[in-house]
């Protein structure tokens, strides 16, 4: 009798497959309070790598890290009407603390535009204080009715950037810079996910923003996943929180502000874009463990050879782990590392070693090749880059093959059953969005025909990407 599969096959039930991978690859578990998430060490190691890569890019864009309170006076949110209206259904509010009712309720941070706006107003005095470029790594709470680990949870981890600028042009340019140089660069070059960058429609904008830019990925079942957003807030928050400066002529001017963020949702995106029926597949530049050296049987010097290979790979700058737990069967251990998506396995067994060889196994393709013990340390870094490039190429080809160019709402709805639809914005504009929404399809973003970011949704010849989404 054949053994039952470890995971539900993707083709049978993709959401169930996703839940299986998150659980069995030991990425996360449900917390005790509904909608909360416990991130397990292996899952958190991926998040740490994401943090490090994104943080480095944020700092190259000139922003500095700070930290702001978890609790925000409710009156702060009320000062920006669109903002509080947009977040009202998701707010968690503290009314009692220290054994008594609070004079003013406190909102558990859903995002920090309001509290950071308050302090930007204090810190910015003159044009010499601008631009003020801040970022924080934190947790936020948004009450979630339909939780799903990493994708939608009541509490999640993220970074949120907030900046103040002297002119509208500077604010808009920084909003685009974050999307391009931080988010898109990270997702393409490290996550190997070919995201689409574009402008959200007015109906999909962040509450209180004048423009929202987004990066959208296609998951393995053809749906869209919003991976990050960058918002041009105009002067809405500057007006509400009196973020003003004296210009070089001594006149008082309102600042122009931005906000932008990515979350632990990126871990879910990683699973859903690259994973297969054997589990997670992690791109090498992200992987906390790039290579596992696996002792098949500790005979014929295999254990000593594995130790030596680990030391050599560490010396070559490879993030490597030794698995010498030979009390557990080799097949079980190989399956577990495959489930966790480690990019390359080096299998060290007495039979191959007797001929001076080991076996290299690629997780992305399953390809196995023989290599001499002496060439492993030089060969692995090259192989890791090959895997990285191959994963990006495969994800790009899959997305493009499932993106249909259509000219009507009806055809867009049909195409969205299996992937993305690319449709002229003129066809959708007006009541088209409502007609799509009736079929659970949304406009994910707008682009110019050449793929660049439009400055307005009223520009001619814009293209809308529409899809079902998570």
Question: What is the C-alpha to C-alpha distance for residues 353 and 303, in angstroms, rounded to an integer?
Answer: 11
In this predicted structure, what is the pLDDT of residue 239? 96
pLDDT at residue 190 is higher than 50: yes
Tens digits of residue pLDDT in 114-139: 999 999 999 999 999 999 999 999 99
Region 242-261: what's the mean pLDDT? 98
Q: What pLDDT score does 107 carry? A: 95
pLDDT digits (tens, 9 = 90+) for 257-294: 999 999 999 999 999 999 999 999 999 999 999 999 99
Stronger pLDDT, 208 or 202, i.e. the higher one: 202
174 token code pair: 């920084």
- Is there a shared CATH topology between the 14-274 domain and the 291-386 domain? no
What's residue 411's pLDDT? 98
H/E/C letters for each residue in 83-124? HHHHHHHHCCEEEEECCEEEEEEEEECCCCHHHHHHHHHHHC
Which residues have C-beta within 8 Å of that of residue 345, sequence separation ≥ 6? 291, 292, 294, 334, 337, 338, 359, 360, 361, 363
Q: Residue range 323-330: average pLDDT?
A: 97
Name the CATH code of domain 403-467 (choices 2.60.40, 3.30.1890, 3.40.50, 3.30.110): 3.30.110
Contact between residue 31 and residue 38 where contact means Cβ atoms under 8 Å apart: yes
When pLDDT is cut at 50, 70 and 90, the band that residue 78 belongs to is: confident
DSSP letters spanning 373-423: GGGHHHHHHHHHHHHHHHHHHHHHHHHHHTEEE-SSHHHHHHHTTTSEEEE
CATH topology of domain 14-274: BirA Bifunctional Protein; domain 2 (3.30.930)
> Tell me, what's the pLDDT at 137?
98
Mean pLDDT value of segment 336-359: 97
Kindly report, residue by residue over 429-456, the tens digit of the pLDDT.
Answer: 989 999 999 999 999 999 999 999 999 9
Buried b (16+ CB within 10 A) or exposed e, 320-350: bebbbebeeebeebbebbbbbbbbbbbbbbb
The per-residue pLDDT for range 36-60, each reduced to its tens digit, is 999 999 999 999 999 999 999 999 9
In this predicted structure, what is the pLDDT of residue 5?
A: 67
* pLDDT the model gives residue 145: 83
Task: Using pLDDT thresholds of 50, 70 and 90, give the confidence band for residue 2.
Answer: very low
Among 4, 13, 41, 18, which residue's Cα sits nearest to residue 279? 18
Q: Where are the domains of the chain?
A: 14-274, 291-386, 403-467
Which one has a higher pLDDT value, 197 or 85? Answer: 197
CATH 3.40.50.800 correct for 291-386: yes
Q: How does pLDDT run across 372-425, given as a tens digit for each residue? A: 999 999 999 999 999 999 999 999 999 999 999 999 999 999 999 999 999 999
Q: What percent of the chain has pLDDT over 90?
A: 94
- CA atoms within 13 A of residue 297's CA, in its CB half-sphere: 7
For residue 214, count CB atoms less than 10 angstroms from its CB and return exposed for 0-12, middle for 13-18, buried for 19 or more. buried
């Amino acid at each position: 009798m054949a053994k039952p599969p470890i995971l539900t096959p993707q083709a049978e039930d993709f959401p169930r497959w996703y839940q299986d991978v998150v659980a069995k690859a030991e990425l996360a578990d449900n917390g005790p309070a509904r909608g909360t998430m416990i991130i397990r060490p292996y899952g958190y190691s991926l998040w740490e790598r994401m943090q490090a890569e994104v943080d480095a890019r944020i700092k190259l864009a000139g922003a500095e890290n700070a930290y702001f309170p978890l609790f925000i006076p409710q009156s702060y949110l009320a000062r920006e009407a669109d903002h509080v209206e947009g977040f009202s259904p998701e707010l968690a509010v503290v009314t009692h603390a220290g054994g008594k009712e609070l004079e003013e309720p406190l909102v558990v941070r859903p995002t920090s535009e309001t509290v950071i706006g308050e302090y930007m107003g204090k810190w910015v005095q003159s044009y010499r204080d601008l631009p003020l470029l801040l970022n924080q790594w934190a947790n936020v709470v948004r009450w979630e009715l339909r939780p799903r680990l990493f994708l939608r949870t009541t509490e999640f981890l993220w970074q949120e950037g907030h900046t103040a600028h002297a002119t509208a042009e500077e604010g808009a340019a920084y909003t685009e810079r974050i999307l391009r140089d931080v988010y898109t660069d990270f997702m393409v070059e490290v996550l190997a996910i070919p995201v689409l960058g574009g402008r959200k429609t007015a109906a999909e904008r962040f509450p209180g923003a004048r423009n929202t830019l987004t990066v959208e990925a296609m998951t393995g079942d053809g749906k869209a996943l919003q991976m990050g957003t960058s918002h041009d807030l105009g002067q809405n928050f500057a007006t509400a929180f009196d973020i003003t400066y004296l210009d070089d002529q001594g006149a008082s001017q309102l600042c122009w502000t931005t906000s932008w963020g990515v979350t632990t949702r990126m871990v879910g995106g990683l699973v859903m874009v690259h994973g297969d029926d054997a589990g997670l597949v992690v791109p090498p530049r992200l992987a906390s463990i790039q290579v596992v050296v696996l002792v098949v049987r500790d005979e014929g010097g295999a254990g000593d050879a594995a130790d030596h290979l680990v030391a050599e790979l560490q010396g070559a700058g490879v993030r490597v782990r030794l698995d010498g737990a030979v009390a557990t069967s080799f097949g079980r251990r190989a399956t577990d590392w495959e489930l966790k998506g480690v990019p390359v396995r080096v299998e060290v067994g007495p039979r191959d070693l007797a001929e001076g060889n080991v076996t290299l196994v690629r997780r992305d393709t399953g390809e196995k090749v023989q290599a001499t013990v002496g060439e492993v340390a030089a060969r692995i870094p090259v192989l890791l880059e090959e895997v990285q490039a191959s994963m990006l190429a495969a994800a790009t080809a899959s997305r493009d093959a499932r993106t249909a160019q259509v000219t009507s709402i009806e055809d867009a709805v049909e195409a969205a059953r299996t992937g993305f639809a690319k449709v002229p914005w003129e066809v959708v504009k007006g009541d088209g969005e409502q007609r799509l929404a009736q079929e659970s399809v949304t406009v994910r973003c707008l682009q110019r025909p050449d793929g660049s970011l439009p400055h307005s949704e009223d520009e001619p010849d814009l293209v809308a990407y529409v899809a079902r989404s998570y």
